Amino acid sequence: MLICPKCKEKLNIEGRTYTCVNRYCYDTAKSGYVNLLLANQMNSALPGDNKLMVQARKAFLDKGYYAPLAEALCRTVSEYASKGCKILDAGCGEGYYTEKIAVACPDAEIVGIDISKNAADYAARRTKAVKFAVGSVFHLPVADGSCDVLTTLFAPYCGEEFQRVLKDNGIMVMVIPAERHLWQLKCAVYDEPYLNEVKDFALDGFELLKRETVTGKIDLPCNEDITALFSMTPYYYKTSAEGQQRLSELDTLTTEIGFEVLVYKKL
């Protein structure tokens, strides 16, 4: 599935190096990921999540707090993933969900792409059953019409690119926060908590096939886990000093979680 970001030709693996017919070469890092992000596709010197954020997310997810979502995701992907199919996880983060998909679909060829080098490094260390690359979801280093299934969880949406890389009638599985996701956490931090805005599920170029809402409650026994959870969300960057102080004073927390698992077919 991977292509050269410069000439768009297919990449082949020669030892630890990805090479195209025009002899552009990309070496894999020690952990196993390959960097296919061009300088003109970067919005900063180190785009994406930094090491501390990736470590916090990994620590939180590895404790199983979002296991209900992982189970629903794998069940959904397995429903549409035939033997030998090609799956792209666009915006894969540190690979928690990508690894789960790989276990659920052992006969699939799976690629995970994230703009963060730190995330790709952790993902590559997590599982060798998936090829991981650094790249932007707005400039995916993936061949046209090469993917049977594309997954995108809490990542930026780029409809044109997702349609480009999906095969005809290909499947996109998207996960977004539900309306009351982390409601009690918001109530603890904000003076005026607000529900998540859940927009119209209709997307140009796609047909919505299925919607599943996954809900539950999680008990966080320490501030470390609460802070790790909060740092995984967009709220972290929008919170005042007062809100951050309230967050630091929380010793335990029980909060709702909620996710919309949406299945689309490319038209």
Question: Could you report the per-residue pLDDT of 208-223, keeping only the tens digit for each?
Answer: 999 999 999 999 999 9
- Going from the C-alpha of 258 to that of each of 132, 137, 158, 181, 188, the distances in angstroms are 28, 24, 23, 5, 17
Q: Where are the domains of the chain?
A: 12-266
The average pLDDT across 233-250 equals: 85
> Can you give the pLDDT at residue 46?
63
- H helices of 31-174, in order, are 51-62, 67-80, 96-104, 117-126, 159-165
Confidence of residue 92 (pLDDT cuts 50, 70, 90): very high
What's the rounded Cα separation, in Å, for the pair 143 and 1?
6
- In tens, the pLDDT along 71-89 reads 999 999 999 999 999 999 9
The average pLDDT across 60-77 equals: 97
Residue 119, SS3?
helix
Task: State which amino acid sits at residue 43.
Answer: N
> Can you give the pLDDT at residue 13?
92
Confidence of residue 243 (pLDDT cuts 50, 70, 90): confident
Task: Please state the pTM of the whole predicted model.
Answer: 0.94
Predicted confidence (pLDDT) at residue 246 exceeds the cutoff of 80? yes
**In contact, 116 and 140? CB cutoff 8 Å:** no
Residue 212: other Cβ atoms inside 10 A: 14
CATH superfamily entry for domain 12-266: Vaccinia Virus protein VP39 (3.40.50.150)
- In tens, the pLDDT along 119-173 reads 999 999 999 999 999 999 999 999 999 999 999 999 999 999 999 999 999 999 9
